[in-house]
Structure 1
């Protein structure tokens, strides 16, 4: 009986909602104008074949929101609404609404002002495209759904004596699992409490900026490089100093004379986006500069799991004189960018302050996901998944390189193909100034391309090629899609006269 009453109440509530929505739409659309009488609740209930109580509830909602007005013993009338989009114009002689107040100036903190008008998240627009070469995306087919489901379910079944906030540095199980994994996969030795679990590498950068970058201080970054790293340091109030890169990675000689720089951000194992590897000589020079100046180095190993024609490159933190190196890792490229987990490996003197900063920002990363990832690593499922993903992405890479060679030949130069999940394609017969037009023409032909220009700083003189360039991701596409997309791009260039 109780269940039947609940179902009846739910059905009545749905009917009330539909009546309310219909009357509100008629008022806003002008069917009922200001001052017009509505049918009585009794009459409308009889017309609709519902109870009077149901109609009365809809009227009461409209009254509470100011769409209706009512006096004791008088019928409900439409309230005199101010004119706005979708309403009937105010009747002649009706009082004019008060003039809008001028907008007060927005007062922002230094952090808020530093954010400026910078772009935020832009949703992918892949619908209707032959191929979308957006970099950073992964194929949903590669995600180990069954293994992830098992570990999440096992974590949910764990009985806890109470629900409480967890260690801001991360769960002990995940840090222990990552310690062992980093030694096996990257040759990196550390203590578990040197590992700080974060919500993706972006939060790791944010914590480093908060802890190590002073307002007005200087931070060296690669140019071209990761835009979100530049933005997070600028938002912290730091002056971003772009350092050019070449075929050997960061031009470390440019750091000399920058003794006031106390933080540097680098991608030494696979420079983003150009793909070069920081040479052994420059690695030593970078660490010597760090030791001499007291500057910290953030080593972003964002796609260290993907190596094809080259041997895995040991992290900076495995070398001598690496006491000031902060290692930044993520599962966004190895598992999914939707699972917001990453990790920092910080020097022992920084363990406490980074844990305190993490606690201040968001207490700790989600415990359920930490437990699931820990179980995947401990069982070997995570590394089996990485091996499968490396093979799948190796096939995609081969398909892309073969298609670029077959369809575009000497029209393009490809860089950064030895590792990672993207390549840089330079169009040797398209000028840099025509990059935007190339992107637009490709989009019109059903191909999603993404320019390299935004990854350079404002002062790119001397090291930015005077050619159009794109960053081509392939990890979300299948080989057949890649082939069709490159063929369509070749047709765009032929019609253009490129």
Structure 2
């Protein structure tokens, strides 16, 4: 034991950690053999120049972990830690991979997809918003007010505020109890997948469409039935009559990613189809509040007379994706089971944030913020349209710019297989752009006749960054076109 040396001025905690580490090492490597009697705590403390309390704490910790054996009135002895030796790391093992459920195996098979472009100085990432647009002052005031209340009201208050807001802003009529608050729209979509689909079922999915939603549905073992999107959105003439179909996932207010707004005739046909099929429609209204030149179009749910539509809303675009608050408006017959599924998943969404958001809606602050944000987004939208017209008109054109916070740049002289190289070349110049091809269900092939496409989000950029980014991108596209 004389090999210990602990400076007298070392802190009690540091000394305790050092003594523990040395004793444990000596027990593990056999220096202190199993069954050997340990020095008393009093003697070891005197030898090391530390308090007896420090040594006692070390012995108690080692005993709790099985390295020492102690009993009342007897000296501590070294425990036997050699009965279950750890195999050396370099010994090859013939072990089976960890067992996963069928659901887990389907998740493991999903190909990872990251949208991060850390090197991009100007990032046209879609789905992001500018942090400077967050209504920080209004949020802070409401948060301080809610924080001093003894009993937060929780979800009920936000549901009541949302009920009134959705009627004013989206033409959507419902009871407050039909609204379920979730951790962002992604959790809402996942709940729909788990509760409405079984292995062997099928679902209608827009082609191209939001891949994270498709992953949720496919993870259940259901089969995607990609349905063509044209300049007017989902082509309802192609809706399948397959009896396996249990739901259709749609983005009618601003088709993701192509940006079309589904016209009234197709909306009615979609609702009639769902009624005939007894299928659910999941309406993801991710960008419905951002429509330029006219008021936002009413939600599909507002036309639903047969209670087949599940409305998915989010605050990610209007406030921040970091907030992780969204909501579902459910048909009455689904309310109970969805609430129970949410409770089993994570009990509830954060209460303070719900109260703050409810206060912003009740006071009118949220809608004033939205009006300001729409004006700001329209400036950025116009900057993108102008920059593409100035720098890229000979190579391509934008579609899907009537609503939402992104557009798709179609490049008729290039093909989908060129998109990864375009993305890499743009990133080399400090510009982040995102290929369209990964949002199609099928892999890219040489037979594809559609043009290359790049998704350009503009909500997180200034008008100056937008112009510079498009100018740099035009140089990349020009180089490709010249080769």
User: TM-score interval w.r.t. the shorter chain?
Assistant: 0.7 to 0.9
Deviations 1:381-432 (A, max 9, x none): 1111111111111111111110111011120121101110000001122222
Name the CA distance, whole Å, in 2 between partners of 1:61 and 1:464. Answer: 66
Structure 2 residue aligned with 1:154: 145
**Cα distance 1:52–1:278, how it changes in 2: closer, same or farther (>3 A)?**
closer
**Cα distance 1:41–1:198, how it changes in 2: closer, same or farther (>3 A)?**
same
Name the CA distance, whole Å, in 2 between partners of 1:123 and 1:251. Answer: 28
**Cα distance 1:297–1:461, how it changes in 2: closer, same or farther (>3 A)?**
farther
Q: How many residues align?
A: 431
2:192 is aligned with 1:208: yes
Structure 1 residue aligned with 2:441: 457
Alpha-carbon distance, 1:460 to partner = 7.9
Pick one of 4, 7, 18 that aligns with 1:59. 18
RMSD, aligned α-carbons: 2.8
**Cα distance 1:324–1:462, how it changes in 2: closer, same or farther (>3 A)?**
farther
Q: Check the 8 A contact 1:310/1:419 in 2, yes or no.
A: no
Alpha-carbon distance, 1:249 to partner = 1.1
Name the CA distance, whole Å, in 1 between partners of 2:14 and 2:413. Answer: 71
Deviations 1:155-178 (A, max 9, x none): 221113xx9xx9xxx711111100
Structure 2 residue aligned with 1:124: 116
Pick one of 236, 246, 255 that aligns with 2:239. 255
The alignment partner of 1:304 has SS state of coil
The alignment partner of 1:269 has SS state of coil
Name the CA distance, whole Å, in 2 between partners of 1:464 and 1:344. Answer: 37
Name the CA distance, whole Å, in 2 between partners of 1:465 and 1:156. Answer: 57
The alignment partner of 1:277 has SS state of coil
2:359 is aligned with 1:375: yes
TM-score (norm: length of structure 1):
0.80
Alpha-carbon distance, 1:464 to partner = 6.5
Name the CA distance, whole Å, in 1 between partners of 2:350 and 2:230. Answer: 39
The alignment partner of 2:371 has SS state of helix
Structure 2 residue aligned with 1:272: 256
Alpha-carbon distance, 1:359 to partner = 1.3
Name the CA distance, whole Å, in 2 between partners of 1:315 and 1:195. Answer: 15
Q: Check the 8 A contact 1:291/1:321 in 2, yes or no.
A: no
Name the CA distance, whole Å, in 1 between partners of 2:88 and 2:239. Answer: 66
Alpha-carbon distance, 1:57 to partner = 2.9
Which structure 2 residues correspond to residues 47-196 of structure 1 after superposition, within 5 A?
50-51=9-10, 56-63=15-22, 66=25, 99-119=91-111, 122=114, 124-127=116-119, 129-160=120-151, 171-196=155-180
Bigger shift: residues 373-382 or 465-474? 465-474
TM-score (norm: length of structure 2):
0.83
2:279 is aligned with 1:295: yes
Name the CA distance, whole Å, in 1 between partners of 2:403 and 2:172. Answer: 20
Structure 2 residue aligned with 1:435: 419
Q: Check the 8 A contact 1:296/1:324 in 2, yes or no.
A: yes
Deviations 1:180-213 (A, max 9, x none): 0001101111111111111111111111112211
Name the CA distance, whole Å, in 1 between partners of 2:11 and 2:149. Answer: 51
Structure 2 residue aligned with 1:15: none
Deviations 1:40-64 (A, max 9, x none): 415xx38xxx349676434224226
2:318 is aligned with 1:334: yes
Q: Check the 8 A contact 1:155/1:368 in 2, yes or no.
A: yes
Deviations 1:2-24 (A, max 9, x none): xxxxxxxxxxxxxxxxxxxxxxx
Q: Check the 8 A contact 2:200/2:244 in 1, yes or no.
A: no
Q: Check the 8 A contact 1:200/1:332 in 2, yes or no.
A: yes
The alignment partner of 1:414 has SS state of strand
**Cα distance 1:63–1:497, how it changes in 2: closer, same or farther (>3 A)?**
same
Q: Check the 8 A contact 1:181/1:377 in 2, yes or no.
A: yes
Pick one of 220, 232, 246 that aligns with 2:230. 246
The alignment partner of 2:435 has SS state of coil
2:313 is aligned with 1:313: no
Alpha-carbon distance, 1:96 to partner = 8.0
Q: Check the 8 A contact 1:204/1:344 in 2, yes or no.
A: yes
The alignment partner of 2:413 has SS state of strand
Alpha-carbon distance, 1:459 to partner = 6.9
Alpha-carbon distance, 1:492 to partner = 1.6
Name the CA distance, whole Å, in 2 between partners of 1:487 and 1:57. Answer: 62
Structure 1 residue aligned with 2:336: 352
Alpha-carbon distance, 1:361 to partner = 1.3
**Cα distance 1:482–1:67, how it changes in 2: closer, same or farther (>3 A)?**
farther
Name the CA distance, whole Å, in 1 between partners of 2:131 and 2:427. Answer: 23
- Structure 2: any 5+ residue segments left out of the alignment? 33-37, 49-86
Alpha-carbon distance, 1:434 to partner = 1.2
